[in-house]
Amino acid sequence: MAVVEPDGASEPEQYPVTTLELFFDLVFVFAITQLTGVLAHDMTLRGLAEVVLMFGVLWWMYAGYAWLTNMTAPTTVGRRLLVLTGMGGFFMIALATPGGFGSGGVVWGLGYLILVLAHVVLFAQANTHILRVLPANLTAAALIIAAGTLGHGAPVYVLWTLALVVPVVQPYIVPPGGRFDIRPGHIVERHGLLVMITIGESVVAIGVGAGHQKLTAGLIATVLLGLALAAAIWWTYFSRDDTHAEHALTAADPAERANMTMSGYFYAHIPLIVGIIVLAAGVKSTVAESWDPLPYAPSFALAGGTALFLLGDAWFRRIVRIGPSRIRIAAAFACVVGVPLAHWSAAAGLAALTGVLAAAQLAEHTVRARRAEPAGV
Protein backbone atom coordinates (compact mmCIF):
# COMPACT_ATOMS: atom_id res chain seq x y z
CA MET A 1 0.00 0.00 0.00
CA ALA A 2 1.59 3.26 -1.09
CA VAL A 3 1.93 6.26 1.21
CA VAL A 4 2.83 9.90 0.82
CA GLU A 5 5.50 11.74 2.72
CA PRO A 6 4.54 12.90 6.22
CA ASP A 7 3.17 16.41 6.53
CA GLY A 8 4.48 17.11 10.01
CA ALA A 9 1.27 16.10 11.79
CA SER A 10 1.50 14.80 15.31
CA GLU A 11 1.70 11.10 16.08
CA PRO A 12 -1.69 9.30 16.10
CA GLU A 13 -3.32 8.48 19.41
CA GLN A 14 -2.35 5.03 20.68
CA TYR A 15 -4.91 2.44 21.77
CA PRO A 16 -4.75 -1.33 22.44
CA VAL A 17 -6.28 -4.13 20.38
CA THR A 18 -9.99 -4.42 21.17
CA THR A 19 -11.83 -7.60 22.11
CA LEU A 20 -13.83 -7.32 18.87
CA GLU A 21 -10.58 -7.54 16.90
CA LEU A 22 -9.66 -10.67 18.85
CA PHE A 23 -13.10 -12.09 18.06
CA PHE A 24 -12.48 -11.29 14.38
CA ASP A 25 -9.11 -13.05 14.53
CA LEU A 26 -10.71 -16.19 15.97
CA VAL A 27 -12.93 -16.43 12.88
CA PHE A 28 -9.90 -15.84 10.65
CA VAL A 29 -7.98 -18.60 12.39
CA PHE A 30 -10.93 -20.95 11.86
CA ALA A 31 -10.28 -20.36 8.16
CA ILE A 32 -6.61 -21.16 8.82
CA THR A 33 -7.72 -24.40 10.50
CA GLN A 34 -9.68 -25.28 7.38
CA LEU A 35 -6.61 -24.65 5.24
CA THR A 36 -4.61 -27.01 7.45
CA GLY A 37 -7.29 -29.62 6.92
CA VAL A 38 -7.12 -29.16 3.14
CA LEU A 39 -3.36 -29.72 3.15
CA ALA A 40 -3.56 -32.67 5.55
CA HIS A 41 -6.13 -34.31 3.24
CA ASP A 42 -4.15 -33.63 0.04
CA MET A 43 -0.46 -33.39 0.94
CA THR A 44 0.71 -32.91 -2.65
CA LEU A 45 2.07 -29.96 -4.62
CA ARG A 46 -1.45 -29.35 -5.91
CA GLY A 47 -2.82 -29.28 -2.36
CA LEU A 48 -0.04 -26.94 -1.27
CA ALA A 49 -0.72 -24.64 -4.26
CA GLU A 50 -4.41 -24.46 -3.36
CA VAL A 51 -3.62 -23.62 0.26
CA VAL A 52 -1.11 -20.92 -0.74
CA LEU A 53 -3.55 -19.30 -3.18
CA MET A 54 -6.47 -19.31 -0.72
CA PHE A 55 -4.27 -18.06 2.10
CA GLY A 56 -2.79 -15.30 -0.06
CA VAL A 57 -6.22 -13.95 -0.97
CA LEU A 58 -7.39 -14.20 2.64
CA TRP A 59 -4.22 -12.59 3.97
CA TRP A 60 -4.67 -9.57 1.72
CA MET A 61 -8.04 -8.78 3.26
CA TYR A 62 -6.94 -9.69 6.79
CA ALA A 63 -4.15 -7.12 6.42
CA GLY A 64 -6.75 -4.67 5.15
CA TYR A 65 -8.80 -5.12 8.33
CA ALA A 66 -5.67 -4.86 10.51
CA TRP A 67 -4.83 -1.52 8.89
CA LEU A 68 -8.47 -0.47 9.17
CA THR A 69 -8.74 -1.03 12.91
CA ASN A 70 -5.28 0.47 13.37
CA MET A 71 -6.66 3.67 11.87
CA THR A 72 -10.25 3.52 13.15
CA ALA A 73 -10.98 1.78 16.45
CA PRO A 74 -14.22 -0.29 16.22
CA THR A 75 -15.80 1.35 19.25
CA THR A 76 -19.12 2.69 17.93
CA VAL A 77 -22.21 0.60 17.20
CA GLY A 78 -21.99 1.23 13.46
CA ARG A 79 -18.32 0.29 13.24
CA ARG A 80 -18.82 -2.84 15.28
CA LEU A 81 -21.71 -3.96 13.08
CA LEU A 82 -19.57 -3.52 9.97
CA VAL A 83 -16.71 -5.54 11.50
CA LEU A 84 -19.21 -8.24 12.49
CA THR A 85 -20.52 -8.23 8.92
CA GLY A 86 -16.97 -8.79 7.70
CA MET A 87 -16.66 -11.65 10.17
CA GLY A 88 -19.75 -13.22 8.61
CA GLY A 89 -18.01 -13.10 5.24
CA PHE A 90 -14.90 -14.70 6.73
CA PHE A 91 -17.01 -17.46 8.26
CA MET A 92 -18.62 -18.19 4.88
CA ILE A 93 -15.13 -18.41 3.40
CA ALA A 94 -13.97 -20.78 6.13
CA LEU A 95 -16.95 -23.09 5.63
CA ALA A 96 -16.38 -23.17 1.86
CA THR A 97 -12.59 -23.63 2.05
CA PRO A 98 -12.56 -27.47 1.80
CA GLY A 99 -14.30 -27.10 -1.57
CA GLY A 100 -12.75 -23.78 -2.54
CA PHE A 101 -11.39 -25.18 -5.80
CA GLY A 102 -14.60 -27.03 -6.54
CA SER A 103 -18.22 -26.82 -5.48
CA GLY A 104 -17.52 -24.35 -2.67
CA GLY A 105 -15.91 -21.72 -4.90
CA VAL A 106 -19.05 -19.62 -5.40
CA VAL A 107 -19.78 -19.41 -1.65
CA TRP A 108 -16.08 -18.63 -1.05
CA GLY A 109 -16.27 -15.75 -3.52
CA LEU A 110 -19.55 -14.40 -2.11
CA GLY A 111 -18.09 -14.45 1.39
CA TYR A 112 -15.07 -12.56 0.09
CA LEU A 113 -17.36 -10.00 -1.56
CA ILE A 114 -19.08 -9.36 1.78
CA LEU A 115 -15.66 -9.02 3.41
CA VAL A 116 -14.56 -6.44 0.81
CA LEU A 117 -17.73 -4.36 0.99
CA ALA A 118 -17.80 -4.17 4.80
CA HIS A 119 -14.12 -3.19 4.78
CA VAL A 120 -14.44 -0.35 2.28
CA VAL A 121 -17.55 1.14 3.89
CA LEU A 122 -15.81 1.33 7.26
CA PHE A 123 -12.37 2.33 5.98
CA ALA A 124 -13.77 5.14 3.79
CA GLN A 125 -15.10 6.86 6.91
CA ALA A 126 -11.51 7.61 7.91
CA ASN A 127 -9.65 7.63 4.58
CA THR A 128 -11.50 7.92 1.26
CA HIS A 129 -8.32 7.08 -0.67
CA ILE A 130 -9.16 3.42 0.00
CA LEU A 131 -11.80 3.71 -2.76
CA ARG A 132 -8.98 3.71 -5.32
CA VAL A 133 -8.11 0.08 -4.51
CA LEU A 134 -11.75 -1.07 -4.33
CA PRO A 135 -11.98 -2.09 -8.02
CA ALA A 136 -9.11 -4.58 -7.59
CA ASN A 137 -10.71 -6.13 -4.50
CA LEU A 138 -14.08 -6.42 -6.25
CA THR A 139 -12.34 -7.96 -9.26
CA ALA A 140 -10.75 -10.59 -6.99
CA ALA A 141 -14.17 -11.55 -5.61
CA ALA A 142 -15.60 -11.78 -9.14
CA LEU A 143 -12.70 -13.96 -10.30
CA ILE A 144 -13.21 -16.39 -7.42
CA ILE A 145 -16.96 -16.60 -8.07
CA ALA A 146 -16.20 -17.25 -11.75
CA ALA A 147 -13.76 -20.00 -10.76
CA GLY A 148 -16.48 -21.55 -8.60
CA THR A 149 -18.88 -21.68 -11.53
CA LEU A 150 -16.26 -23.55 -13.61
CA GLY A 151 -15.82 -26.18 -10.91
CA HIS A 152 -12.54 -27.87 -11.85
CA GLY A 153 -9.67 -27.69 -14.32
CA ALA A 154 -6.70 -25.49 -15.16
CA PRO A 155 -8.79 -22.31 -15.73
CA VAL A 156 -9.83 -22.44 -12.05
CA TYR A 157 -6.19 -22.15 -10.98
CA VAL A 158 -5.61 -19.32 -13.44
CA LEU A 159 -8.57 -17.36 -12.07
CA TRP A 160 -7.45 -17.94 -8.46
CA THR A 161 -3.94 -16.79 -9.31
CA LEU A 162 -5.33 -13.60 -10.86
CA ALA A 163 -7.52 -13.08 -7.79
CA LEU A 164 -4.35 -13.05 -5.70
CA VAL A 165 -2.15 -11.01 -8.04
CA VAL A 166 -4.57 -8.24 -9.08
CA PRO A 167 -5.22 -6.68 -5.61
CA VAL A 168 -1.56 -6.93 -4.56
CA VAL A 169 -0.23 -5.34 -7.77
CA GLN A 170 -2.92 -2.69 -8.25
CA PRO A 171 -1.74 -0.22 -5.52
CA TYR A 172 1.65 -0.04 -7.24
CA ILE A 173 0.00 0.77 -10.58
CA VAL A 174 -2.63 3.15 -9.18
CA PRO A 175 -1.28 4.39 -5.81
CA PRO A 176 -4.07 5.03 -3.30
CA GLY A 177 -2.47 8.31 -2.23
CA GLY A 178 -3.07 9.95 1.11
CA ARG A 179 -1.33 9.27 4.38
CA PHE A 180 -1.71 6.11 6.46
CA ASP A 181 -0.76 6.74 10.09
CA ILE A 182 0.43 3.53 11.74
CA ARG A 183 0.09 3.04 15.49
CA PRO A 184 3.13 0.83 16.23
CA GLY A 185 1.89 -0.69 19.49
CA HIS A 186 -1.44 -1.69 17.97
CA ILE A 187 -0.03 -3.20 14.77
CA VAL A 188 2.61 -5.20 16.68
CA GLU A 189 0.11 -6.45 19.26
CA ARG A 190 -2.50 -7.34 16.62
CA HIS A 191 -0.13 -9.45 14.54
CA GLY A 192 1.50 -10.96 17.60
CA LEU A 193 -1.89 -12.15 18.85
CA LEU A 194 -2.66 -13.54 15.40
CA VAL A 195 0.60 -15.50 15.34
CA MET A 196 -0.16 -16.74 18.86
CA ILE A 197 -3.61 -17.97 17.84
CA THR A 198 -2.17 -19.55 14.69
CA ILE A 199 0.43 -21.40 16.77
CA GLY A 200 -2.54 -22.60 18.80
CA GLU A 201 -3.75 -24.27 15.59
CA SER A 202 -0.68 -26.52 15.71
CA VAL A 203 -1.63 -27.42 19.28
CA VAL A 204 -5.15 -28.28 18.08
CA ALA A 205 -3.56 -30.40 15.33
CA ILE A 206 -1.74 -32.38 18.04
CA GLY A 207 -5.03 -33.16 19.75
CA VAL A 208 -6.76 -34.04 16.48
CA GLY A 209 -3.84 -36.26 15.51
CA ALA A 210 -4.11 -38.12 18.80
CA GLY A 211 -7.84 -38.54 18.16
CA HIS A 212 -9.28 -41.63 19.77
CA GLN A 213 -6.00 -43.51 19.93
CA LYS A 214 -5.15 -45.46 23.02
CA LEU A 215 -3.22 -43.36 25.53
CA THR A 216 0.01 -45.32 25.54
CA ALA A 217 3.32 -44.05 26.87
CA GLY A 218 4.55 -43.70 23.29
CA LEU A 219 1.58 -41.58 22.24
CA ILE A 220 1.89 -39.32 25.29
CA ALA A 221 5.61 -38.85 24.62
CA THR A 222 4.91 -37.94 20.98
CA VAL A 223 2.17 -35.50 21.96
CA LEU A 224 4.54 -33.79 24.40
CA LEU A 225 7.20 -33.58 21.69
CA GLY A 226 4.65 -31.95 19.39
CA LEU A 227 3.79 -29.46 22.13
CA ALA A 228 7.51 -28.79 22.62
CA LEU A 229 7.85 -27.95 18.92
CA ALA A 230 4.89 -25.54 19.12
CA ALA A 231 6.48 -23.96 22.21
CA ALA A 232 9.79 -23.59 20.34
CA ILE A 233 7.95 -21.80 17.50
CA TRP A 234 6.36 -19.48 20.07
CA TRP A 235 9.70 -18.80 21.76
CA THR A 236 11.38 -18.03 18.44
CA TYR A 237 8.81 -15.39 17.47
CA PHE A 238 8.18 -13.82 20.87
CA SER A 239 11.70 -13.84 22.30
CA ARG A 240 11.72 -10.05 22.75
CA ASP A 241 11.26 -9.53 19.02
CA ASP A 242 7.80 -8.00 19.39
CA THR A 243 9.10 -5.39 21.85
CA HIS A 244 12.07 -4.57 19.63
CA ALA A 245 9.81 -4.34 16.57
CA GLU A 246 7.54 -1.84 18.31
CA HIS A 247 10.54 0.29 19.25
CA ALA A 248 11.85 0.18 15.67
CA LEU A 249 8.49 1.22 14.19
CA THR A 250 8.11 4.00 16.74
CA ALA A 251 11.56 5.37 15.90
CA ALA A 252 10.80 5.50 12.15
CA ASP A 253 9.16 8.51 10.51
CA PRO A 254 5.48 8.03 9.52
CA ALA A 255 6.09 7.30 5.82
CA GLU A 256 8.92 4.86 6.54
CA ARG A 257 6.84 3.25 9.30
CA ALA A 258 3.98 2.55 6.89
CA ASN A 259 6.37 0.97 4.39
CA MET A 260 8.04 -1.11 7.13
CA THR A 261 4.60 -2.28 8.28
CA MET A 262 3.56 -3.28 4.77
CA SER A 263 6.81 -5.12 4.06
CA GLY A 264 7.28 -6.67 7.51
CA TYR A 265 3.75 -7.43 8.66
CA PHE A 266 2.17 -8.20 5.29
CA TYR A 267 4.78 -9.68 2.96
CA ALA A 268 7.23 -11.24 5.44
CA HIS A 269 4.44 -12.72 7.55
CA ILE A 270 3.13 -14.69 4.54
CA PRO A 271 5.88 -17.38 4.65
CA LEU A 272 5.90 -17.16 8.43
CA ILE A 273 2.23 -18.05 8.84
CA VAL A 274 2.07 -20.40 5.84
CA GLY A 275 4.99 -22.22 7.47
CA ILE A 276 2.94 -22.71 10.64
CA ILE A 277 -0.01 -23.99 8.56
CA VAL A 278 2.19 -26.52 6.74
CA LEU A 279 3.87 -27.48 10.02
CA ALA A 280 0.48 -28.04 11.67
CA ALA A 281 -0.56 -30.37 8.84
CA GLY A 282 2.67 -32.34 9.33
CA VAL A 283 2.24 -32.45 13.11
CA LYS A 284 -1.27 -33.85 12.71
CA SER A 285 0.10 -36.81 10.74
CA THR A 286 3.13 -37.15 13.00
CA VAL A 287 1.14 -37.61 16.18
CA ALA A 288 -1.12 -40.12 14.44
CA GLU A 289 1.96 -42.20 13.54
CA SER A 290 3.65 -41.72 16.93
CA TRP A 291 6.92 -43.72 16.91
CA ASP A 292 6.28 -45.36 13.55
CA PRO A 293 7.93 -44.19 10.32
CA LEU A 294 6.28 -41.13 8.78
CA PRO A 295 5.64 -41.06 5.00
CA TYR A 296 7.76 -38.64 3.03
CA ALA A 297 4.95 -36.14 2.29
CA PRO A 298 4.16 -35.32 5.94
CA SER A 299 7.90 -35.53 6.75
CA PHE A 300 8.53 -32.76 4.22
CA ALA A 301 5.54 -30.81 5.60
CA LEU A 302 6.92 -31.05 9.12
CA ALA A 303 10.46 -29.98 8.23
CA GLY A 304 9.52 -27.64 5.39
CA GLY A 305 6.91 -25.82 7.46
CA THR A 306 9.43 -25.20 10.24
CA ALA A 307 12.03 -23.99 7.74
CA LEU A 308 9.53 -21.69 6.00
CA PHE A 309 8.54 -20.18 9.34
CA LEU A 310 12.20 -19.48 10.17
CA LEU A 311 12.88 -17.90 6.77
CA GLY A 312 9.80 -15.68 7.08
CA ASP A 313 10.81 -14.69 10.60
CA ALA A 314 14.35 -13.87 9.44
CA TRP A 315 12.93 -11.74 6.60
CA PHE A 316 10.64 -9.95 9.05
CA ARG A 317 13.52 -9.22 11.45
CA ARG A 318 15.59 -7.81 8.61
CA ILE A 319 12.81 -5.46 7.47
CA VAL A 320 12.05 -4.04 10.91
CA ARG A 321 15.76 -3.94 11.79
CA ILE A 322 15.66 -5.85 15.05
CA GLY A 323 18.88 -7.76 14.75
CA PRO A 324 20.86 -10.08 12.49
CA SER A 325 19.03 -13.14 11.19
CA ARG A 326 21.90 -15.34 10.00
CA ILE A 327 21.41 -17.85 12.82
CA ARG A 328 17.72 -18.31 11.96
CA ILE A 329 18.50 -18.69 8.27
CA ALA A 330 21.10 -21.34 9.13
CA ALA A 331 18.54 -23.07 11.36
CA ALA A 332 16.05 -23.09 8.45
CA PHE A 333 18.53 -25.03 6.31
CA ALA A 334 19.32 -27.32 9.24
CA CYS A 335 15.64 -28.35 9.33
CA VAL A 336 16.35 -30.68 6.40
CA VAL A 337 17.59 -33.19 8.96
CA GLY A 338 13.98 -33.58 10.07
CA VAL A 339 12.94 -35.28 6.82
CA PRO A 340 14.98 -38.52 7.08
CA LEU A 341 14.56 -38.66 10.85
CA ALA A 342 10.77 -38.30 10.64
CA HIS A 343 10.71 -40.93 7.90
CA TRP A 344 12.59 -43.21 10.28
CA SER A 345 10.43 -42.30 13.30
CA ALA A 346 7.74 -39.61 13.51
CA ALA A 347 8.69 -38.75 17.09
CA ALA A 348 12.37 -38.47 16.14
CA GLY A 349 11.47 -35.87 13.52
CA LEU A 350 9.62 -33.79 16.12
CA ALA A 351 12.53 -34.05 18.54
CA ALA A 352 15.08 -33.06 15.88
CA LEU A 353 13.19 -29.95 14.76
CA THR A 354 12.59 -28.88 18.35
CA GLY A 355 16.32 -29.28 18.92
CA VAL A 356 17.15 -27.12 15.88
CA LEU A 357 14.94 -24.29 17.14
CA ALA A 358 16.30 -24.57 20.67
CA ALA A 359 19.89 -24.55 19.40
CA ALA A 360 19.19 -21.42 17.35
CA GLN A 361 17.79 -19.62 20.38
CA LEU A 362 20.76 -20.68 22.50
CA ALA A 363 23.18 -19.45 19.82
CA GLU A 364 21.40 -16.08 19.63
CA HIS A 365 21.44 -15.76 23.40
CA THR A 366 25.18 -16.45 23.44
CA VAL A 367 25.82 -13.83 20.75
CA ARG A 368 23.76 -11.22 22.60
CA ALA A 369 25.56 -11.98 25.86
CA ARG A 370 28.98 -11.57 24.22
CA ARG A 371 28.00 -8.26 22.67
CA ALA A 372 26.77 -7.02 26.04
CA GLU A 373 30.08 -7.76 27.78
CA PRO A 374 32.11 -4.64 28.66
CA ALA A 375 35.33 -4.16 26.70
CA GLY A 376 38.30 -5.92 28.28
CA VAL A 377 36.22 -8.48 30.17
Kindly report, residue by residue over 355-371, the tens digit of the pLDDT. Answer: 999 999 999 888 877 77
pTM: 0.86
For residues 108 and 194, state if they share a domain: no
What is the distance between the alpha carbons of residues 330 and 325, in angstroms, rounded to a whole number?
A: 9
Phi-psi region of 153 (alpha: psi -120 to 50; beta: other; left: phi over 0): left
For residues 153 and 194, state if they share a domain: no
What are the pLDDT digits (tens) for 183-195?
Answer: 888 888 888 888 9
Mean pLDDT of 42-70: 89
Q: What is the model's pLDDT at position 8?
A: 42
65 in any annotated domain: yes
Q: What is the model's pLDDT at position 262?
A: 86
Count of domains for the chain: 2
103 in any annotated domain: yes
For residues 341 and 300, state if they share a domain: yes
What is the distance between the alpha carbons of residues 243 and 367, in angstroms, rounded to a whole number?
A: 19
The yes-or-no verdict on residue 354 having pLDDT over 90 is: yes
For residues 113 and 232, state if they share a domain: no
What are the pLDDT digits (tens) for 11-24?
Answer: 556 667 888 988 98
For residues 148 and 192, state if they share a domain: no
Structural domain harbouring 345: 184-371
What are the pLDDT digits (tens) for 331-346?
Answer: 999 999 999 999 999 8
What percent of the chain shows pLDDT beyond 90? 40
**Domain end call among 115, 144, 173:** 173
For residues 204 and 321, state if they share a domain: yes
97 in any annotated domain: yes
The yes-or-no verdict on residue 46 having pLDDT over 80 is: yes
For residues 236 and 326, state if they share a domain: yes
34 in any annotated domain: yes
For residues 122 and 253, state if they share a domain: no
How many C-beta atoms lie closer than 10 Å to residue 154's C-beta? 8
For residues 120 and 218, state if they share a domain: no
Q: What is the DSSP letter of 267?
A: I
How many C-beta atoms lie closer than 10 Å to residue 41's C-beta? 10
